[in-house]
Chain A
């Protein structure tokens, strides 16, 4: 397979809201949308400038809460969203975990826009995880708001909040100038990091910073720019720390270092829920550089997988190579666990058997069985999707310095909040005393929503009494992942004599995503496996979506959020096969099914509504760009697919040449997307190209 050309076509069909997803801010369907009230915190920076941050009451005290009173010690800035120094430096804090999705660039862009500073004058600084103690109400407060990366929520969460941060910092600077000039603030405007007087006089933000820091911050919202006045949002912007990346200076979790830190490699039990039988570590301890060999316990059989995934023997050494040699020298006999007999053959047998039993009905409209009986034609297909590993370029790792009353974690993370809670639960250290730094992360794709590798670091550090850095090798990673679920999809369509689709059935026998997951108690059993309200639900009168759970011990997780990749592939493949088998045009079939532009209910993540017209429009756009329906060279074909997920709409049109040997050559690929307002068009293009290439390499 070779990709000859990829063309990214982005069509912002409906621009009405800041991403269709803006209204819903829940990560992978597991987190309820929050209503927060945040408070601006203004202080003088260490260099005598202006520092602006937010304080948000903890989740327990949400709406209507009063401003949290912080003990003096935590008022020392961990970092700020905005810092304007007297020397003219403008530093904007990036709150998110940067995994390659571009938030270290796009989130500061939101602040810079409303602050009204030139992007090229901005220095972006990564913020640490910002949980601090609050004296009143007692508990914890967040300095930066949501910092995890999951469920495609970074921009929707930040869209309003971070623009307000910039706007309120600008408001302070304008007020400071108004005082200086004894002029009404309303008469003043800003441009390029200056406040401008009606008579043309200018004061730079740097000149105003200290005075602004003494002002009382605005209570509540301040006005923001019209979209047409935006000079940063909506403009192509390169990654903020590109120079650091191309010079090798960018620090990732794996690059973290602390004086005296020891490197740890763990031999993990190869049996699900197995345990350590016998250990002979005499040889390993003789390897130069090996300091200690310690054991870590398995998860409790059948209990939630909320710490480490497997029993292990940890080799603690001066460096990677010593730890590696030490691990190679271990002699271990593992005791098989209850899942030891699980195999690929068993998995397939169980999935086949599941279809003979009744499943859980995720959605039923009308009567598919009746539609099937009265159909002029029934078309059925089966699709099988394997377990998939994430294989992030940077394998999991965690460096932790564990003291009796505090901890410092440096690791490549997607869920620093989860890591904070886990360390707290394992050690009793209060969460505000657990410092978490957020280096760049070499890919996430959902793997790092789990913090099992952090738990391992805690378990080893508790025994070793020194800072430890747990490293995973690629083999460790591929064998100990939270894989995308395995599933067998049986799809069926009933057609009447005119070729109209009158019934649709999608039955999925899969290893449930919701399995040994303590944080998913409130979710449906089929979460991540059945797209109950996804197209063509609501567009076919007789519709059935059914989930048939398959028992298997392999750990499952979010893989680029499993549902869209897991559900879209069989549904879109079936639509195409159905069209060809019924002698219909695959585009026309989809457009007929989508019908009139209208909103349908969508109860899962990315809802609460799905707009048929927006999906139809991206389909038409992709089809038009690739010249769908034109005469093609011999052995060429064009395939279409579209999907609504996470509040966004996307369609692909791909021209493929098939050689006589059956090899595929992708001639051209067009992607059309409607994700609402676009913060960084360049970032959007990289996301869609990258996602497209990942999808192709997974499917092929």
Chain B
């Protein structure tokens, strides 16, 4: 039984490099906190069960499915969404590669695709086809061939920037 006046201990977290505080239902998924409370709507709702990946964000720099990540797990953690990926006007190499390879069609899944790709490139700086195939984000438009090309382009770009 839930009381009408529901009060919870504040959850303090960092969202896109800014401090944030949440006092609502701790079982609320991060996705709905981002969309309805932080008004960061770039992270998308696709399935609600962590399957499609449209809601992929980074928690402490690692890809996570926001629709199945409860707010209760986020005290003291750092969340980065698609809105926080670019450094001001300068796009992340993955975002730039996405534009250059003209990846999006409807574009709805692409924020999640990009966040998953950024995470992959942190783990594998020169990903193989098999590495890229470990990404499980779904796209109903079928942009997969260009996603693959864009990840390779971004990998080359990041490597060039390092040397």
Contacts and interface: CB of A to CB of B under 8 A. Distances in A.
Interface string B10-30: 000000000000001100110
A393 B104 CA distance: 13
A464 B6 CA distance: 24
Nearest to B148: A3
Contact of B102 (A238, A257, A394): A238
B102 A242 contact: yes
Contacts of B49: 474
A288 B1 CA distance: 12
B144 A246 contact: no
Contacts of B145: 3, 6, 689, 693
A250 B107 contact: yes
> Quick one: which of B52, B106, B140 has the most chain A CB within 10 A?
B106
A101 B141 CA distance: 9
B144 A319 contact: no
Given A254-B44, A288-B6, A393-B52, A238 B143 contact: no
B141 A100 contact: yes
Interface string A86-114: 00000000000011111000000000000
Contacts of B28: 321
Contacts of A6: 145
A325 B6 CA distance: 13
Contacts of B111: 245-246, 248
Contacts, number: 158
Given A247-B83, A251-B41, A690-B143, A102 B91 contact: no
Contact of B140 (A102, A238, A257, A393): A393
B78 interface: no
Given A445-B140, A473-B48, A686-B143, A252 B108 contact: yes
Interface stretch (A31-39, A215-223, A435-443, A598-606): A435-443
A694 B142 contact: yes
Contacts of A239: 102, 104-105, 107
B64 to A, nearest CB: 16
Interface in B91-107: 91, 95, 98-100, 102, 104-107
A258 interface: no
A344 interface: no
Interface stretch (B31-39, B120-128, B155-163): B31-39
A443 B143 CA distance: 12
Interface in B47-79: 47-49, 52, 54
A440 B107 contact: yes
Interface in A283-325: 286-288, 319-321, 325
B144 A3 contact: yes
Nearest to A392: B140
A325 B140 CA distance: 29
A2 interface: yes
Nearest to B112: A393
Nearest to A243: B99
Contacts of B107: 100, 239, 245, 250, 440, 442
A689 B145 CA distance: 8
A663 B146 CA distance: 25
A207 B32 CA distance: 49
Contacts of B95: 246-247
A245 B83 CA distance: 10
Interface centre among A100, A248, A445 (most CB of B within 10 A): A248
B106 A99 contact: yes
A442 B108 contact: yes
Contacts of A441: 106
Contacts of A255: 35, 41
A319 B36 contact: yes
A501 B130 CA distance: 46
Contacts of A691: 142
A558 to B, nearest CB: 16
B142 A393 contact: no
A237 to B, nearest CB: 9
Contacts of B144: 3, 693
Contact of A246 (B40, B41, B44, B91): B91
Interface string A682-700: 1000110111111001000
21 contacts: A245-B104, A245-B107, A247-B91, A248-B42, A255-B41, A319-B37, A393-B44, A393-B109, A393-B138, A393-B139, A394-B44, A394-B106, A395-B46, A440-B108, A441-B106, A442-B106, A443-B106, A443-B140, A474-B47, A474-B49, A689-B145
Sorted from nearest, which 3 A-B pairs have the closest CB atoms?
A248-B42, A442-B108, A100-B106
